[in-house]
A and B are shown apart, each in its own frame.
Chain A
Amino acid sequence: MSAVAAKPQAGGAINPGAMAVGIVLLIILLGIAYVVSPGIGLMALIGVIIGGVLIGFGVHFVPVGGAPAAMGQAPGIATGVAMLAAGAGLAGLFGGAWAAEQGLEMAVVTGAIGGGMMMAITCMMVNFVYVFGMGIPAASGKVAKDPITGDTQAEYKSQGTEGHGLPFVSFVGGVIGGILGGAGGTLIYIELLELYKTTLPGVMKVTSAQAEPIAVSVAGIFAIALFLVNAVLTAYNITGTIEGPHDPKFKRWPRAIVASAVASALCGLVAILIVVM
């Protein structure tokens, strides 16, 4: 297949059959969790799935610019989803992990604030570099007016580009994405940490003090792994770049919800089987 003759097949269309199969798969995975561990395991898995879906949905808000943004030819932050989501999510996750001892709600809120702050700082410094370093104004290529401020965009957009810089709506989207991602990552971590803290001493036949570092470490690496899987699947959904919540690609989010739920359920189930089998 040559590059000229081939037509891009992936698009915004939703594949209802596959979505249905995905939901059935999700129910099967939840059923397995119910069979092997009806109490603590199932609750942990539900928490992991909610966290994964939050991450998948949150990434849609983040203005990912990729290589074109680095050249000032498209709006957004000039890197890929994997790096950006990992940065925001892990900042949130580390923030939330510090607050893990103060309960679930406090930890999740702290994680959300951590992720949101990381994205706010990133977005602001990106605009500093764009405006003062590269000398380009912020202009969206996808909408005529900024949905939040109402500023017109066309006057500031250079010819031959899809827009550049980071318009206000993208900034807000980035912060919302960071909040959702940080909260999701922390939720996964806390749920798995509670599960491992309860079960690992029995599985390994050691004291809870000896098992705690292992519980923290395994829950942390699982949270990072799940975060990256969800972020990359969402990146596939938006085919790499998105401007923020005003981008037409944002409407593809239902696909990412199903994909993230299935992926999180699958990976979360394996994470739970480690201690209950």
Chain B
Amino acid sequence: MSVKVEVIEGGVPHSKILIAGFVGTLVCLYLTYLNVLTTHTGMFAFFGGLAAVIALIWGSHTIKVLCSYGIGTGVPSAGMIAFGSGTIAFLFATKFGDAAPIVAVVLAAVVGFILGWVSNNVLNMRIPAMVQALTEMAVVGALTLMGFAALMTGGFTFTGLTSVSVGTTMGTNTFLGGCLIAVAFLLGAIAIQHPFNACLGPGWKQDRMLMLTAECGFLSMIVAAIMSYALVDHVSATISLIVALVGWVYTYKEYIVLSRRDAAAWLDSKPIPEVEGH
């Protein structure tokens, strides 16, 4: 079914988005390390959310590259396999302390590559972009989860995600113990697959789709920032929430502007229509 329905026309080439997304995500992830350097505050946790948003932007463009080939399974399935394989790499990588983001990238790439090879050869998909796309998406999934983990807890090491507070008998008040990872999983999986699913078609425009991804990413970040109140101090969580809210309002407004630019026509309807004669 490797019938390529549409070609990538205009916009930034995928390789540039790949490199920018990769570097941006890693830089932002390591900026959360400032938490450890500066007397153990959590104030830089919001960089984790920014890392997740950047990774999502990269990932949604990868989904566009893959799903242009009419794989027949729907766009959401691509988001699900990205985070399915990414979760596994992410959890393993957290064991490696400060090197966790690098290990996550390498391991996710290996897992994604093998899954891509299996799809293309064992399952006989024969889609040219398959191996590269699944490799990229596993990396994106792992890094997005790591970003959300850093946002919610201020760090990305296994100890930080599971450390049991003194005096508690159950380890439930942690990222892994409280299963916040399940929420992070779906926040990311929906944010990565929705933009292309919503924007695909003959009127597809790269900047509009990527703006929608940023908007979805910041929306997920708002939820994650609210959840971070349980795990980091309130000042840090408030900073994360403000960053997420500002980012969301800006990208939402920009997305509406871009949608109006691409629309044939629009009508400003009022929320409650006024009916005359009543």
Which residues from chain A sit less than 8 Å from chain B, CB to CB? 1-3, 6, 8-11, 13-15, 18-19, 21-22, 25, 66-67, 80-83, 86, 204, 206-207, 209-214, 216-218, 220-222, 224-229, 231-233, 235-237, 239-241, 255-256, 258-259, 262-263, 266-267, 270-271, 273-274, 277
Contact = CB atoms under 8 A, between A and B. Distances in A.
29 contacts: A1-B4, A6-B4, A9-B1, A10-B2, A10-B123, A14-B124, A15-B122, A22-B118, A22-B122, A204-B164, A206-B164, A207-B169, A210-B169, A213-B178, A214-B176, A216-B179, A225-B85, A228-B81, A228-B83, A232-B73, A235-B73, A235-B77, A236-B119, A256-B123, A259-B118, A259-B119, A262-B114, A267-B84, A274-B92
Sorted from nearest, which 3 A-B pairs have the closest CB atoms? A240-B72, A18-B121, A80-B74
Contacts of B127: 10
Contact of A259 (B83, B123, B171): B123
Contacts of B264: none
B162 A204 contact: yes
Nearest to A257: B122
Contact of B77 (A82, A220, A221, A274): A82
Given A82-B76, A221-B179, A270 B119 contact: no
A222 B4 contact: no
B31 to A, nearest CB: 26
Contacts of A206: 164, 171
Contact of A217 (B89, B92, B123, B179): B179
With most chain A CB atoms within 10 A of its CB, the pick from B72, B107, B119, B181 is: B72
A220 B89 CA distance: 15
Contacts of B111: 266-267, 270
B229 to A, nearest CB: 19
A258 B121 CA distance: 11
Contacts of A273: 92
Contact of B122 (A217, A226, A258, A274): A258
Contact of A233 (B72, B92, B119): B119
Contacts of A240: 71-74
Nearest to B170: A213
With most chain A CB atoms within 10 A of its CB, the pick from B84, B126, B162 is: B84
Contacts of A231: 77, 80
Contact of B170 (A210, A225, A241): A210
B80 A86 contact: yes
Nearest to B175: A217
A19 B176 contact: no
Interface string B163-189: 010001111101011110110010000
A17 to B, nearest CB: 8
Given A80-B77, A239-B72, A21 B121 contact: yes
Contact of B89 (A8, A256, A270): A270
Nearest to B119: A236
B169 A225 contact: no
Contacts of B76: 80, 82-83
B115 interface: yes
Given A217-B179, A236-B73, A225 B171 contact: no
A213 B73 contact: no
B267 interface: no
B5 interface: yes
Contact of A214 (B118, B123, B125, B177): B177
A84 B227 CA distance: 28
A220 B118 contact: no
